[in-house]
Chains A and B, each alone.
Chain A
Amino acid sequence: MQNNKTKIYTVSQINSLIKGILDNNLPRRLTITGEITDWKLHSSGHCYFSLKDENSTLPCVMWKSSFARVKFQPENGLAVLGTGFIDVYVPHGRYQLIVDRLIPAGVGALQLAFEQMVKKLQAQGLFDEAHKQPLPEYPERIGILTSESGAAFEDIKDSIWSRWPCVKLFLYPVPVQGEGAAEEIAEGLRDINRRNRKLKLDILIVGRGGGSLEDLWAFNEEVLARVIFDSKIPVISAVGHEIDTTVADLVADARASTPTKAGVVAVPDMQKVLGDLESYQSSLNNNITLCLRYAEQQFDESAGNIADAVKEFLAERRERLYRSFEQIVKIEPHQLLGKVRDDLNHLKNRVSTTIQTIVNKHRIQLTAQSNLLTGLNPKSVLKRGYSITTNKKTGRLIRKLEDVQIADDIITELVEENLIESKVTNKQNRIE
């Protein structure tokens, strides 16, 4: 009676049988919803926990390799969807869910991971305004860390140069998505910071174009956030579309909502700066014009003072002139002339009188002399009855007896050329 005979199984047999039944009858993969409880991350890297609902719990295991793909941080009480297969652990006679994919229920895993990362870094002060470095107003050298082939680089470049062409750009090519992208971007930032004494970059921009949360994931990773926080060079994040916010956006010193807005954040507007220069110039011009007007006014005032002074001076001189004129008029020139004429006449009279006197005096003297001379002329004595006798023969005056001989002819000259001729008849001296 085999039927009546109770079949005896060994423990191993029954556990193996159960394993076979479960393996054959349950779907190869199944997804179970529940709340995490008894979460334990073993030092081996494997995770041990349970999923539970109101009435029941299910033991779960997640191997290290699977856990590495989980972006968020699993924790007790978290509603999740665990996907995997039910396995019977034959040695213990236990069945458990081998989880290879764990995602938050309701909200996406990445979304959750993002929220968790934000919470963590916020608590550590990485987003504090106090740590934000100011951007230079007029940067000269900007480093851009993005994909060399992506549209983001062109967008960033154009948005910068359309506003401010006098900045030199330095492209540092990095992968912006996929495994290891965050590490590479982080290493790029570190590398530039190390070399910046030479590179002299004054702003760094990290960014990429839009994509899914997964595409943007590198910019949510802690390794990148830490390096952005540590960068000595101010960092601008320019990631994804307007609506996307990444951890990099929060930790960066400034954020551009998209790569096309990077220019607005990073550089000044050339047109505005030209306008500023224009207004500075007109301000300077206005001021200098004002100064010149002021100087002119001062000059005018001085000139007015000088003119007044000159007028006053002239008026005073004119006054003096009038006074002098009046005095001159009082002098009556005709009277003055009359007096001079009188003086002159008087002088003339005096002179002529004097001259007359002198002439008269001289004339008298001359007459006297003349008379004297007349007296000396031998012939003038003839008028007074004297006569001159000459020897006719010798023609000499007869002054002594010896001057004539008896019988000589003598001529006696009388006044007015009258001559008498006679003959000497006698000679005698009366004294004898």
Chain B
Amino acid sequence: MAKNEKKNDINKLSFEDAIKKLGSIVQKIEQGEIPLQDSLAQYEKGMALIKHCRGILQKAEKRIEKITEEKKTGDRSQKTE
């Protein structure tokens, strides 16, 4: 259960948060700051973050929305792509 929760947490991260977390894990690992017994957990977390980041990139869709001045048109926004 705890593991699933953790997984969900990762999936909720923005790309920026995820890749920054990932960077810090890799940095810690490379600098030998992670004890051997934690390595596997960190490895799994890192891999989950990579998967999440790749997922965001793969799901990328180019979308445009038009916003116009509120007082003129209300809050109407129009999707063009």
Contacts and interface: CB of A to CB of B under 8 A. Distances in A.
Answer yes or no: are A and B bound together in one complex: yes
B5 interface: no
A143 interface: yes
B39 A287 contact: yes
Contacts of A143: 67
Given A165-B62, A280-B26, A291-B40, A140 B70 contact: no
Contacts of A140: 14-15
Contacts of B70: 191, 195
Given A170-B66, A171-B67, A280 B60 contact: no
A284 B69 contact: no
Nearest to B16: A138
30 contacts: A136-B16, A138-B19, A140-B15, A161-B62, A165-B57, A165-B60, A165-B61, A166-B56, A168-B64, A168-B65, A169-B62, A170-B64, A171-B64, A171-B80, A172-B66, A172-B67, A172-B68, A173-B66, A173-B68, A273-B53, A273-B57, A274-B54, A280-B22, A280-B46, A281-B47, A283-B26, A284-B25, A288-B40, A291-B40, A291-B43
Interface string A257-290: 0000000000000100110110011011001100
Interface residues of B, number: 34
B47 to A, nearest CB: 6
Interface in B16-41: 16, 19, 22-23, 25-26, 29-30, 36, 39-40
Given A283-B30, A295-B36, 12 more contacts: A166-B56, A166-B57, A170-B67, A173-B66, A273-B57, A274-B54, A277-B54, A284-B26, A284-B43, A288-B40, A288-B43, A291-B36
B3 interface: no
B69 A276 contact: no
Contacts of B47: 281, 284
Contact of A273 (B14, B19, B67, B80): B19
Given A170-B64, A280-B50, A283-B26, A274 B57 contact: yes
B76 interface: no
Given A277-B53, A284-B47, A171 B26 contact: no
Majority secondary structure, B binding face: helix
A221 B19 CA distance: 40
A170 B65 contact: yes
Nearest to A166: B60
A85 to B, nearest CB: 44
Nearest to B32: A287
Contacts of A270: 57
Interface in A180-200: 187-188, 191-192, 195, 199
A294 interface: yes
Contacts of B69: 187-188, 191
A340 B39 CA distance: 72
A284 B56 contact: no
Residue from B56, B67, B68, B70 whose CB has the most chain A CB atoms within 10 Å: B67
Contacts of A161: 62
B57 to A, nearest CB: 6
A138 B14 contact: yes
A137 interface: yes
A282 to B, nearest CB: 10
Contact of A138 (B15, B65, B66): B15
A188 B72 CA distance: 12
A157 interface: yes
B57 A288 contact: no
Interface string A309-342: 0000000000000000000000000000000000
A164 B26 CA distance: 23
A422 B66 CA distance: 175
Contacts of A294: 36
B67 A283 contact: no
Contacts of B19: 138, 273, 276-277
B64 A284 contact: no
B18 to A, nearest CB: 9
A193 B29 CA distance: 41
Contact of A166 (B15, B25, B67): B15
Nearest to A169: B64
Interface string A293-305: 0110000000000
Contact of B29 (A164, A192, A283): A283
Nearest to B27: A283
Contacts of B53: 273, 277
A193 B66 CA distance: 16
A430 to B, nearest CB: 136
A143 B68 CA distance: 11
A169 B81 CA distance: 10
